[in-house]
Amino acid sequence: MIAGIIGATGYAGAELVRLLAGHPQVDRLVLGSVSFEGDCIERVYPNFLGRVDAPLVKPEEVIAAADAVFAALPSGVGEAFAKICVEKKIPFIDFSADFRFDDDEAVYAAWYGKQYAHPELRQYSVYGLPELNRKRIIAGAAAKQVIIGNPGCYPTGASLGAYPALAKGIAGEGCIIVDSASGVTGGGREPSRSFHYPECADSVSPYKIGAHRHTPEISRNFEAMTAAKSGTGIRPVIFTPHLAPMNRGILSTIYIPLGEAWKSKNRITGAPRPPAKETEEKAEEIRSVYAEFYRDEPFVRILPADTLAATNRVRYSNFCDISVHLDQTGTTLIIATAIDNMVKGAAGQGVQNMNILFGFPETAGLTAIPASF
């Protein structure tokens, strides 16, 4: 098949190039770039020398040639391309937020400050978190006209971490807190003071507290994942992103109130005590639920009790590592998840979606073994 990328020179685009160039079912890449049209990818990214050798063409040429089109563009830019692809029955995998909210245009508008240019396209769109929506993605493929709203990086790690607890009734009511640290590639390729080496090296800092655009996406996912839906329709979520001095990776620590059935019987009310044996046993029980829940998922790893999620163990891979913990008061489930923000958090998940759409093995092109260091 021929894979096309519109916006191939941004970071998500370049990561797609890397993954698709090594994909066994992809025969050829057609790469589009507005900024570098007429140049070639290995000049913009010399890391590709000798491995990828492709001119950068207009978006229209990408669509004309490709069997599947990836769009790695800012929100609000790609709808016109999506429309053409739907008409031509070419699967369209979109990395912006344009197709993540289905027909909930109000939420999109509130957070992204834009209206949909082509609202009707949402009848073809599926939110592309395979672990949640695999059946819908397959149905989209069958329907021939399909747009994938590839998930945001933070929502991927947060949602996969909470999913079993929500679906299996381990989570009780109340606000879920997602506290995440991201590597600097999350800020994209465009230089700015925030991502200038001397300003972010050797430092950790939060940003956009209570105001990050991924908040509604996380909240909506949590609701969709919950067995018995809440009356209000929406799970309250607090999401705090941090910037950490690393290139890749998102570590999310998720605080989920336990349901009554799962709370400690001997709840500690006085001074905190080190974890009791009961706590460790209960954590192991929940760990088993998680392992069972994700048993057939090729990219989710439930870590053993003595191993905590760490971003360096998933680097350059499509894995989401999950470690399961309980706080010492016996009231709160604490989940830590690690993903590579550019792979499972962006390009890799896009390839996973393509694989599902085309009936390829879901791991095709995504078999990288994470390095030990």
* Catalytic residue numbers, as ranges: 153
Nearest residue (CB) to a second copy, 47 versus 80: 47
Of 147, 151, 310, 135, the C-alpha closest to 217 is: 151
Nearest residue (CB) to a second copy, 38 versus 274: 274
Distance (Å, whole) CA 187 – CA 184: 6
Residue with tokens 């001997």: 266
Pairing label, strands 332-339, 320-326: antiparallel
Nearest residue (CB) to a second copy, 60 versus 280: 280
Contact of 322 with 252, CB cutoff 8 Å: no
Distance (Å, whole) CA 338 – CA 160: 10
CB of 364: closest distance to a second copy in angstroms? 14
Nearest residue (CB) to a second copy, 21 versus 146: 21
Contact of 137 with 232, CB cutoff 8 Å: no
**Strand order, beta sheet including 300-302:** 205-206, 237-243, 176-182, 250-257, 332-339, 320-326, 300-302
CB of 104: closest distance to a second copy in angstroms? 7
CB of 322: closest distance to a second copy in angstroms? 11
Contact of 332 with 258, CB cutoff 8 Å: yes
Nearest residue (CB) to a second copy, 228 versus 271: 271
CB of 347: closest distance to a second copy in angstroms? 10
CB of 261: closest distance to a second copy in angstroms? 19
Q: What is the 3-state secondary structure (H, E, C) of 234-245?
A: CCCEEEEEEECC
CB of 120: closest distance to a second copy in angstroms? 22
Distance (Å, whole) CA 235 – CA 223: 6
Angle value at C-alpha 73, between 71 and 76, nearest 5 degrees: 110
253 vs 121, 154, 167, 210, 230, CA distance in Å? 35, 11, 19, 16, 23
Query: Three-state SS for 192?
Result: coil
Residues 6+ apart with CB under 8 A from 231: none
CB of 23: closest distance to a second copy in angstroms? 11
**Both tokens of residue 130?**
């395979």
